[in-house]
Structure 1
Amino acid sequence: MEPWRPSPRNPMDRIDPKTFRFHFPNLLYASGRKLCYLCFQVEREDYFSCNDSDWGVFRNKVHPWARCHAEQCFLSWFRDQYPYRDEYYNVTWFLSWSPCPTCAKEVVEFLEEYRNLTLSIFTSRLYYFGHPNYQQGLRKLWDAGVQLDIMSCDDFEYCWDNFVDHKGMHFQRWNLLNDCDFLAAELQEILR
């Protein structure tokens, strides 16, 4: 029997406000938040307007027999949606958790395959930032040319406006930026 592999699937258009408020705050320790959300935007160099197929949200899929992290869902979807290597793409991710070492490795391999693509990752939280393997994964992404940063208030507001089904509710900071400065300093230390 062939092993299970992630297959392309359609991203969600938007996430629920409660889901966003629960999964996206910059918390040092975020217990109970086992899901990872990836809000993405794909821009082509030819035109910088985004249509429905150029943005969306992925959430990790967890199966008893295999997992597909949100990053893997995006990579699989992108390969299916954009098979051509002759166009230039700017891709931006807003993640609730930074990539794990396996996903970091797969993203680096993906960038070697798609040399016509730049990737910026803005993450709310650092996943196991004290573990050397996770730090090494972030350094590999950085060395591959990925822009890495902790989400700022402007990033949260951008996500709220573009990826949350807010039904006209205005963005409020709530407590989204609890540990932003600490996480930003940790990330800079890791990337040195």
Structure 2
Amino acid sequence: MAQKNNAKIPKPNKNEDVPKDPPESSEVPAEENGEKKKLEELPPFEVVEGSRIPASSFMFQFKNVEYSSGRNKTLLCYTIERGEGQVFRGYLEDEHASAHAEEAFFSNVLPQFLSSGPVSVTCYVSSSPCVNCAAAIARCLRRSKTLKLRLVVARLFQWEESEIRGALRGIGSAGCQLRMMKSADYLHVWQNFVEPDVVLNEEGESEQKSEQGAFIPWEDLEENSKYYEEKLAEIMR
């Protein structure tokens, strides 16, 4: 079951980092190690945009497992529908803890489509939003009265925290339809947003990609989904 005991995942940030043990022995002085660490630090903000997610990344990041440790990204797949049958699709993923895909989408990407007429948006997200991202979603909904939004999430992020629960209720009251992903949703994302992984030959060159295989759900997908549905219903009451 998903995140039944948040005591095991006390990380305050949405994107969790997996702690790494130091090497058993090292001759590099501590000061030099510190300097090297500073040089290797990643930039504070980076959001990747694209149209298709590698299959292995989707299967790992969207899995509605009991504990999300090691899943240190948020993936957001979106469909934007405007008048006259215009449909736009894509996905975003955040690379570092300070950059969340939801805030980037609702603050930077979506506003470009809201200038003319009603807009219907469906987002499939690997994890429910944190407090800041929920605030960005609520602001977008309140500013755009013609926006219809569905947010379909694989896992609930720190759902026992009162601030998170309040943030989820906040986007609900702002007009967002929030629900958990089911098997049919996973299949839809697989068919519309996922691509086969690139295969390398012995020379390290990429070979022609094979046809996209069928989505194979993991054993406890439906069980975990129902568990999350119950928790979400409790929160939204």
- Contact 1:122 1:149 (8 Å CA) reproduced: yes
Match of 2:226 in 1: 181
* Deviation for aligned residue 1:132: 0.5
Structural mapping, 1:68-107, within 5 Å: 68-75=99-106, 76-79=108-111, 81-82=112-113, 84=115, 86-107=116-137
TM-align CA RMSD: 2.1
* Deviation for aligned residue 1:21: 0.7
Distance 1:177 1:17 in 2: 20
Task: Give the alignment's TM-score, normalised by structure 2.
Answer: 0.70
- Contact 1:6 1:73 (8 Å CA) reproduced: no
Q: Of the candidates 78, 90, 103, which is equivalent to residue 56 of structure 1?
A: 90
- Structure with max Cα Rg: 2
Match of 2:140 in 1: 110
Distance 2:218 2:181 in 1: 14
* Deviation for aligned residue 1:180: 0.9
Q: Which has the higher contact order (CA 8 A, sep 6+)?
A: 1
Match of 1:47 in 2: 84
Distance 2:51 2:214 in 1: 19
Structural mapping, 1:113-192, within 5 Å: 113-166=143-196, 167-175=211-219, 176-192=221-237
* Deviation for aligned residue 1:119: 0.7
Distance 2:64 2:151 in 1: 15
- Mapped pair 1:25 → 2:63: yes
How many residues get paired? 179
Q: Percent identity?
A: 29
* Deviation for aligned residue 1:73: 1.7
Flag the 1:178–1:91 CA change in 2: closer, same or farther, 3 A: same
* Deviation for aligned residue 1:49: 4.8
| Runs of 5+ unmatched residues, structure 1 | none
Flag the 1:136–1:24 CA change in 2: closer, same or farther, 3 A: same
Deviations 1:129-148 (A, max 9, x none): 11011111100011111001
* Deviation for aligned residue 1:68: 2.1
* Deviation for aligned residue 1:25: 1.3
Secondary structure of 1:99's match? coil
* Deviation for aligned residue 1:61: 3.6
| Runs of 5+ unmatched residues, structure 2 | 1-43, 197-210
Task: Give the alignment's TM-score, normalised by structure 1.
Answer: 0.86
